[in-house]
Amino acid sequence: MSNMSKLSLSLVAALFAVTVASCNGGLGGFSGSVGNTPPTQPLTSFRVLGNPGTPFTAVISDARSSWTVKGAIPMEMVIVNTMQPVRLVATKLSADASLMSLDIISGTVIKELSSTNAPFGTASVQLGTLTDFAPPASPDVRIFVIGPATELFRGLVEDTKTGFEVTDRAPALFLFDQPNGSVDGLFTQLQNFGSFKVNLTFNGGVVTTIAGGPTVSIKQP
């Protein structure tokens, strides 16, 4: 590695450390107050676990917004700037007896679990009581850390006013609830399993994709 590359990495790491130290909220052990900003409610996340590769469709809602997510097990979904209560309803999209197990997590604490082995089985979890799903998110802005699979990473996801620290494993999908202005994310690998692949979608369309590592940043155009 050239000296210039080492310097660049050092700068990125230093910038990341400074940035993370000055934000609030959080997930993965960083909930509560950090730095000089006041604490916010822990982020809410959902895990869809079970037999790897099993396809599913899910609808997630907090008190303000809802999102439809299609994908395959395993996947973690995080609502950034959550307004509780929250609820996830997921339908397994395979006609076999594979397992789909749902967790709902506030900060780092699992609050509820639900599972199904039934063909095209449906399961749901919620935190609080959400009697009716909110309207679809508008704008619908998402950052998807697609891989490398199981890579442990730390990062910062933020809009123009608030930043949230995250610690997660890929694949992880960050759903922004009514972001202020444009959003961005900064992610650093903790295991270096391979290059990050991250994309940002706006109202259903991928607008930015990045690859690389160990630290990447992605910004809404």
Partner 1 sequence: MKIPRFSRAGAALTAFFALNLSVLITAFTATPALAAKGSVEVGFIAVPPQGFQNALVNVISVRLNPKTTAVESDTRWVTIPVPSLVGTGSSGKPGDLQFDLNLIQSVPQLFNTATVKPNHYMLVEVILDNQRPGTLVPVCSSAGPLEGCVNYPMVLQSPGTPLTIAIPVPVTKNKLTQVIITLNVAITNGGAPSVTGGAYTVTVTPTVAVQSNLLATVTGSTHGASGGKPKKNVLGLSVTAETMGTNTIIASAPVSGGIYTLALPAAGDIGTLYDVYVSGSGVSYMADRLPALLPGSMTNVSFDVAKQVKLGSIQGKIADACTGLPLQGATLQLLVPPAENSSADCTATDTAAQCVSVATATTDNNGNYPLPGTAVSPAQFNNVPIGPTFTMQISAPGYDTVLTPVTASGNTKQGGKCTAGNPTPDCDFALTTSYIVGTLNLNQNPPPGTNVMFQVFAENTGTNTIQSALPTPITIRPSTNTANFTLNVPTKGTFDLFASAIDLFQGATDPYPGHTIVVKANVTPQKVCPAPTMPTETLVGTMDCVGHGSIALGSVSNPNSGTTVQLSKNGVDLMSAPVIPLPPAPSPNNTFSFCTPADDYDVLRFQAAFPTPGVSPVEPLPPTAVGTPQAVTIIAPDPEPSAKPSPCPTTCSFTGGTCPGVCKNTVPDPL
- 93 is a contact residue toward partner 1 (CB under 8 A): yes
Q: Which stretch binds partner 1 (CB under 8 A): 2-10, 12-20, 142-150, 175-183?
A: 142-150
Region 8-67 residues binding partner 1, contact defined as CB under 8 A: 27-29, 45, 47, 49-53, 55-57, 59
Residue 208: CB minimum distance to partner 1, A:
11
> At closest approach, how far in Å is the CB of 3 from partner 1?
25
Q: How far is the CB of 182 from partner 1 (least distance, A)?
A: 19
Question: Is residue 208 a contact point for partner 1 (CB under 8 A)?
Answer: no
Q: Which stretch binds partner 1 (CB under 8 A): 13-21, 32-40, 140-148, 180-188?
A: 140-148
Q: Are strands 86-92 and 163-169 parallel, antiparallel or unpaired?
A: unpaired
Per-residue HEC secondary structure of the chain comes to CCHHHHHHHHHHHHHHHHHHHCCECCCCCCCCCCCCCCCCCCCEEEEEEECCCCEEEEEEECCCCEEEEEEECCEEEEEECCCCCEEEEEEECCCCCCCEEEEEEECCEEEEEEEECCCCCEEEEEECCCCCCCCECCCCEEEEEEECCCCEEEEEEECCCCEEEEEEECCEEEEECCCCCCCEEEEEECCCCCCEEEEEEECCEEEEEEEECCEEEEECC
Closer by beta carbon to partner 1, 39 or else 119 = 119
Nearer to partner 1 among residue 101 and residue 220 (C-beta): 101
Q: Does 70 bind partner 1 (CB under 8 A)?
A: yes
Q: Does 210 bind partner 1 (CB under 8 A)?
A: no
Taking CB under 8 A as the criterion, the residue among 142, 157, 176, 186 binding partner 1 is: 142
114 sits near partner 1 (criterion: CB under 8 A): yes
Residue 212 interacting with partner 1 (CB under 8 A):
no
188 burial (CB, 10 Å; 0-12 / 13-18 / 19+) is buried
Chain positions 144 to 203 lying near partner 1, rule: CB under 8 A, are: 144, 146-152, 167-173, 190, 193-195, 197, 199, 201
Residue 187 near residue 148 (C-beta atoms within 8 A):
no
Closer residue to partner 1 (CB): 10 or 150: 150
